[in-house]
Structure 1
Amino acid sequence: MNTSFITVLSAATEPGRIIGFDVQLLFDLAEQWFATMVIVFILYKLLFKPATDFLDKRKVGIAKNIDDANKSKVEAIELKKNYESKLAKIEDEANQILKDTRAKALLREEQIIKEAKEEAENIKRKALDDIKLEQERIKDELKKEMIEVSTIMASKFVSASIDETKQNEMIDDIIKEMGDVQWLS
C-alpha cells in the first residue's frame, strides 16, 4: 500500500497530471478492491448475516410477545367482565336469599305468635275452667258447712228455748267455732 501511495504522489508531481494512472496503480486498486470485497463478503457472512438473522428473530419474538400480551390483556379484560357479572349475580342472589329468609322468618314469627296466642288462650280457658270447678267445690263445701251450722243452730234452738240475747250469744259462739270463714257468692 505504501508503493501505491507513493506512486500517486509521484504522478501528482509530474507537470500537467494530477493523478497518474499507470498499470501498477490500477493493479493495486484492483487488488485493494478485491481484498475489500472479500473482507466485506466475509464480514457479511460472519457478522452481518447472523446479526440481521438474530435481529429479525428478536423482532419476530418481540412482536409475538406483544401479540401474546395483547391477547392476554384482552382475555384478562374479558375474565374481569365475567367475574364482575358473576359477582353482581352472586350479590343479587345473596340479596334474594336474604329477602326470602326474612320473609320466611316473618311468616314463622307470625306462626309462632299465633301458636303462642292459641296456647295462652287454651291455658286461660283451662284456668277459667279450673277456677269454676274450684268455685263449685267451695260452694259445695260452704253449703255443707252451712247445713252443718244450720243443723247445729237448729238443734241448739230446739234444745233450749232461749231468749234473744242467749240466741245472739249462741250465734257468736258458732261463728267463733267455725273460725274466720269467707263467704263466697
Structure 2
Amino acid sequence: MEQLFGLNPQLLHDTVLSILAILFLFTLMSYLLFNPAKKMLKDRQERIKNDIDTARKDREEAAAVKAEYDAKIKGIEKEAEEILSEARQKALKNESRIVDEAKEEAVRIIKRANEEALLEKKRIMDEAKQEMIAIASMMAGKVVTASIDTSIQDALVEETLKEIGESTWQS
C-alpha cells in the first residue's frame, strides 16, 4: 500500500475511523443532548418573553386601574361637594323654618299676653265698677241718713273720693 501524504495506512485508517466515530457521536449527541438543550433554551426564551409581555400587560392594566381610581376620586370629591352643598341648603331651610316658627310662636305669645292683659283690664274695670257701686251705695246711704242739701252732698262725694283714693277713681 502506498502512503498517502506520507502517513502510515494504519494511522490513516484510525484517523478516518476516529472522524467517523466523532461524526457519529456528534450526531448522536446532538440528537440526545443538543436538541433538548436547544429546546430548553427556546422554552426558557419563550417563558421570558411571555413574562415580559405579562409584565407589560400588568403595567398597562395598573395604569388603567390607576386612571380609573383617579377618576373615581375626582368623582367622589365632586359627590362630597354636592352632599355638602345639599346639607348646607337643608341647614339654611331648617334655619329659616325654625326662625319662622319662632316668630309665629312669639306672635302667639304676644297675642296671648295682649288677651290676658285685656282680660285683666276688664277684671279690674269690673272690680272698679263694683267699688263704684259700693261707693254709690255708701253715698246713697249717707245722703239718705243725712238728708241734706247739695253743698253737703258735694262735700260727701269729695270725702268719699278721698277715702277710695284719687288713683283708683281716675284710672
Q: Same fold (TM over 0.5)?
A: yes
Aligned equivalents of 1:47 and 1:159: distance in 2? 160
Runs of 4+ aligned structure 1 residues displaced above 4 Å come to: none
List gaps (5 residues or longer) in structure 2: none
TM-score normalised according to structure 2 size: 0.80
Residue 36 of structure 1 aligns with which residue? 22
Would you say 1:145 and 2:152 are equivalent positions?
no
Is 1:131 equivalent to 2:117 in the alignment? yes
Q: Aligned match of 2:82 in 96, 99, 102?
A: 96
Partner of 1:8: none
Aligned amino acid, residue 79 of structure 2: E
- Helix, strand or coil: the match of 2:7? coil
Percentage identity across paired residues of the two chains: 40
Q: What is the aligned-residue RMSD (CA, Å)?
A: 2.9
- Cross-structure match for 1:51: 37
Structure 1: how far apart are the matches of 2:113 and 2:66? 68
Q: Aligned match of 1:66 in 46, 52, 59?
A: 52
Query: What CA deviation, in whole Å up to 9, does each residue of 1:78-124 have, x standing for no partner?
Result: 01101110111011111111112111210221122012102211221
Match of 1:158 in 2: 144
The answer to whether structure 1 residue 121 and structure 2 residue 111 are counterparts is no
Aligned length: 160
CA offset at residue 60 of structure 1? Answer: 0.4
- 2 CA distance for matches of 1:171 and 1:128? 34
C-alpha displacement at 1:159, in angstroms? 1.4
SS in 2 for 1:21: coil
Distance 2:97 2:160 in 1: 61
Unpaired runs of 5+ residues, structure 1, are: 1-18
- 1:56-77 deviations in whole A, cap 9, x for unaligned? 0111011011101110110111
Q: Which residue number in structure 2 is paired with residue 15 of structure 1?
A: none
Deviation at 1:20, TM superposition (A): 4.0
2-side partners of 1:139 and 1:20: how far apart? 167
TM-score w.r.t. the length of structure 1 is 0.75
* 2:61 corresponding residue in structure 1: 75
**C-alpha distance in structure 2 between counterparts of 1:157 and 1:59, whole Å:** 142
Which deviates more, 98-107 or 150-159?
150-159
